[in-house]
Every structure is written in C-alpha cells, then in structure tokens.
Structure 1
Amino acid sequence: MKSIACVGMAVADLIVGPTDSFHFTQDVTLLDTVTTKPGGDAANVALNLGAMGVPVSLHTKLGSDLFGDWLMNTYAGEGIDTQYVNQTDGDSTGVAIALVDKHGERVFLYRGGAVDSLALSDLDQSAILRHDIVHCSGFFLLPSLEEKGLPKLFAKAREQGVKTSLDVGWDNRGRWLKTIGPMLPNLDYFLPTLNEAQQIAGKSTIEECAQYFVDAGVSQVVIKAGAKGAYAHDGQIGFWVNAKPIDGVIDTTGAGDGFVSGFLASIARGLPFKDAVHTANRAGAIVVQQYGSTGAIKNYQQIELQGNNYEAVV
C-alpha cells in the first residue's frame, strides 16, 4: 500500500448547533449540541486515512497550549505519526467555530493561529518525500506556505516521482488563479469544490472547469459538487459520479475532507482513478451523518459496504 504525507491545516473545531440565526441583540441562543473535534483539512484527512489503514504522517504547526496538547494526544491515540507536527510557543493553536443549521449546512468563524506561520522551513522535506503521495489541504489558508513554499515542495516531489495531491479551500483574499496557477502543472490530483474551481478557472460549468485544469497541466481532476456528487477528468475524458440523496444529514463540516480521504485511500490501494472517485462519494456520505469532520469513518471496509446505498453513476 502507498504511504501518504498530509501537509497543511490542523486546528481545533468547536461545532455548535443547530442554529438558524444569531443575533447580538439576543443575550442567549440555546443550542442542542456543542462539541469539540480535531479539525483542519490536512489533519482531518490524515485521521481518516489512518482509520482506513493507510500509512500516513501529518506535517503541520500547533501552539504549545491546551488545544495543541489535546490535538497531539488525539493524533497519537489514533496512530498518526506526529513526529513532524511542530508545537510553537509563538502563537496559539488555530481554532474554527462551525455554526451548523438544522439542515446540516455550516459556516465557520476561523483563526489560523500557529498554522498561519507554517512555512517550508518548518517542514522536513526529506521525510515528506519518502512517501509515495504528498497531499496538501487548505492551500489558500496557509499564507506562509502557499506562494513560495508549497510550489517548491511539489516541484521537487514531481522530480522525485512522488505523486502530488491538492485541496484548496476558499481564498478570502480573492487572488485565486494568480496564486495557484504556477502549481497546476505539478499536480497529479486536484480536488477543488465547484465554487472554488469556478473562481480559479473563470469558467461557469463544471465540465469547462475540469477541462481548463487538464489543459493547464493537471494530470487528473475531481471537482466536488456537494449533494450531486463529483465530476472527474482523467486527462482523457470527463465523467460524473452522482451521489444518491442521504436521509438524516447532520453536519456537512467534514464532507469535503471525507471525500478526499476516500479518494486517497483508494489511490493508496492501487485502485483505478474512476473507482477512487466512487469511494470518495461513499466516504463523504458517511461523514455528514454525524457532527464533526472525523470519527465517522471507522475503516475502509465500511466504505466498501456503503457503496450500494449512496452512489450511482451516469
């Protein structure tokens, strides 16, 4: 089985809900659920991959504080290789507060903290490049890594025959293609959401976006389309993998990370690209049926068993 290095965001998630409104004129808003979970795109993917039996290491930055210690203990308890997780006294651990409505949709209040300063100098490049795949999550929320550090790391990975994978997140600074454009030729797998893909490519349809990325040099593209499933392009042809409706959606906080985890777990097992997209849909469907981004996926066999319940291809 292939090994994977996960690079990027790691934060503590505080998940509250359900709430459909929030008013500062109202002193108290009553909630049914307040829970703390490991969060951050890279950490979520690492935890899910570990649960699915994939050899994985996490490369990120935390504060030397209560949340940082808790996350380190959580990662270690889940069997994640944490020797490359830096804890710094210079800043606090990042926190994301997820406000979840009754339909499971969410918005975030976010402070990156220590991960905002994650730079190439914080990463053990030789350790990362000993893996078969290097995956980065939350690209646009890594200001000290996105423009100078990660492009160099991915270029070096491609030179050494290491596969590269990228999931971007939302660019609040609105730079999109200007920032990520130089990286596209060094991507083996690119996994944006439809909204992100439209912003980067400047195209309106999902098919046009996928073709744009392939033309820009990406080897294989998977564009996440929420409840519809995903549109993928293998470099030759594009195709849809549709997702069936799910009863009882509780929290979509970790849907995208679950999707990416399922995809990479299949790639690590040597499955064909199209089969990996199938698995991605299944994993995303499992994650949205509980609060938080991690913990719902117990093992790889669980995703295989759920296939007939959650997926159809057109």
Structure 2
Amino acid sequence: MMEQKTDFIIIGASILDVLTQPVSAEVFETGSVSAEHTAMHTGGDALNEAAVLAALGASVRLVSKVGSDYAGNYIQNYCQRAGMDTSFLQEAKTLETGVNLVLVDEDGERHFITSQSGSLRKLCPADIPDRALQGGRYLCFASIFVFPAFDDAALAALFSRAKANGLVLCADMTKRKNGETLKDLERSLPLLDYIFPNYEEASLLTGLTDWDEIADAFLGCGVGCVVQKAGSRGCFIKTKTQRHWIPAYPHARCLDTTGAGDTFTACFLDALGRGMELPECGSFANAGASICIEGLGATGRIRDREQVTERYAKIRSLI
C-alpha cells in the first residue's frame, strides 16, 4: 500500500537541546556563573528541519529514532502537535534519547557537549524501511556524517532507494569526522540533486578555499546544485549553468546561531517545493535563518510562512 503523499521526507537525528546564554570559559575556573537565558528545546538536524517545514505549512514525514524515556516522549508529543507524520519516528526501548548541552557565548556562537550513548548518531540505514521513502516529493538526508559510522556504500544504497521512488534528493552536512574527502563520497554524491554545506564543512571536505572552486568540485562529482551557507554574507548557489550570491538579511541581531543552518535548509526546501527560482529560494532561506538567530534554541522562532515572507521581500529589494 502506497504511503500518503507528503511534501518532504526528512531523515536524521531528533534530540533535546539544553541551552544557556551567554556562557564564557570563566565557568570552568569559577565553577558557577549566572546566565541570562537557560531553556530546553527540541533539536537535532532532522527534527529542526521538519519543525520549520511544518511551521511553514508543508506536510512532513520525520524518519528518526528516539529512546523510550522522558526526552523521547517529549519529542514524539512535540512532533504530533506540530502535525508531522511520525509513522517512522522509531522508539527504541534500549536507547537513550540524545540530550545536548549547548553553551552559547556572547557572540551567539555555540559549543556543544554531546552524549556518546545518546540517539544523536544511532540511526542506521537498516532503520529506514522502503515504505518510509514512498509517497513523497522531496527527501532531505539531514545530514551526511551523522550516521553511526560513515559508509559511502550504505549512503549510496539509501539514496538509490530514494531515487527509485521518484524523490528529489537533498542532503545537508555536518563537519567530517575522520578526515574524509570527496573521494570518500564518490558513490553517494552523484545521486544528489541538492547539497547544503556551510563554508567550513565544504572547505574541509574539498581541501579548497575559493567559493567557486569548492562548488565546482561538488558539481564535478555529479551533484546537481551546490548551496553554500555563508552566514552573515548570505549564501552562494551554483549549478552547471547558474551562479548566484544572495545577500543575508542585514538587520538581524544574533543571539544564538543554534539551528540556523537547519532553518536555512528547511526554508530553501519549502521555497523549492513551491516552484520558486534558485535566487528566490536563497533569499527565502536567508530570511528564515535571520529569524532563527534572534532567539534562543533551534526551533520555535518561525511561526508561519508570512513571517519569513516579510523578510524575504526586504532581501529581494537588495538584489
């Protein structure tokens, strides 16, 4: 039986983040400091993207894994309230749901403390049945290098299953873990229609520093479109026939960058799914990321599509 049609299938981690801001290295000397903000939020690359897409009005299926504990129950209830399809949000009774401690400094930059025994990197290809990949339009693997152990062949097999189901295939990234290069992704990259690295992630993987050369390296591996997140500079988009620098929203006040990259990807996907052109997708993504960084936590700042559209219009006026 074919699964119900959904706009986006998002695969990856679902955890809880406990954030505090601002925090300095002084805490390790004094043993105790006060912070202006402390809060608990949902987190994890896939859950962040799925939450933003749901807030934008898209239909979303989350494929992830949590434990049978308080954090796991909290995540499941959150996803159900958000209207996500949680049919493939697995609950593993022997697994501890991941909880990240996120220390945010005065500049809004994040420093993570993660649990090795938690669910952050416990989702395996074997946990993703064929039914989870059916009935969708777009799939985003949210992110490369978050599988328990990087395996290009396993990733390529997953991507091939997705392509066989007619999905437009996208992938976000995190930093490589063991010195991997593009050569180590030679099977999986050619299957990608879109990839969303930030500059540091892409530079480490390619060994290059020039924006165009980095994008060309990915394109040379067979990726259809390279979207590089550039923080306060906006984003750089390149295909075989297009090249665009899209400016960031210039008036954002950065409190916390947690989830900004995931919000960017989710907003880009939403715009893409609505038929917008690549430069418009980049502007919409930059608008969403600018809203995310003005609050504490990875999700919750995006209320609806109209909120992002207002900033999108201001960015488009700069181009």
SS of the residue 1:25 aligns to: helix
State the shift of 1:148 in Å: 4.2
Q: What residue identity is the alignment partner of 1:162?
A: L
**4+ runs deviating over 6 angstroms:** none
Aligned residue for 1:47? 51
**Aligned-CA RMSD value:** 1.9
Change in CA separation of 1:68 and 1:135 when aligned onto 2, cut-off 3 Å: same
SS of the residue 1:253 aligns to: coil
Change in CA separation of 1:310 and 1:251 when aligned onto 2, cut-off 3 Å: farther
Aligned residue for 2:295? 290
Q: Does 1:171 align with 2:176?
A: yes
Aligned residue for 2:22? 18
Aligned residue for 1:206? 211
Among 235, 239, 246, the residue aligned to 2:244: 239
Among 94, 100, 116, the residue aligned to 1:96: 100
Change in CA separation of 1:311 and 1:273 when aligned onto 2, cut-off 3 Å: closer
Change in CA separation of 1:227 and 1:213 when aligned onto 2, cut-off 3 Å: same
Cα distance in 1 between the residues matched to 2:311 and 2:14: 28
State the shift of 1:116 in Å: 2.4
Q: For each residue in 1:189-244, what CA deviation from the matched residue of structure 2 results, as whole angstroms up to 9, or x when unmatched?
A: 10000011111122111111111111110111100011100100132122200114
Q: Runs of 5+ in structure 1 lacking a partner?
A: none
State the shift of 1:13 in Å: 0.7
Cα distance in 2 between the residues matched to 1:286 and 1:267: 19
- Percent identical among aligned pairs is 29
Q: Does 1:273 align with 2:269?
A: no
Among 72, 76, 88, the residue aligned to 1:72: 76
State the shift of 1:142 in Å: 1.6
TM-score (structure 2 length as normaliser): 0.92
State the shift of 1:301 in Å: 1.7
- The within-5 A match list for 1:31-42 is 31-42=35-46
Contact 1:185 1:218 in 2 (8 A): yes
SS of the residue 2:186 aligns to: helix
Q: What residue identity is the alignment partner of 1:111?
A: S
Aligned residue for 1:84? 88
Q: What residue identity is the alignment partner of 1:204?
A: T
- The within-5 A match list for 1:132-281 is 132-144=137-149, 146-281=151-286
Cα distance in 1 between the residues matched to 2:33 and 2:186: 43
Cα distance in 2 between the residues matched to 1:131 and 1:44: 19
Q: What residue identity is the alignment partner of 1:286?
A: I
SS of the residue 2:241 aligns to: coil
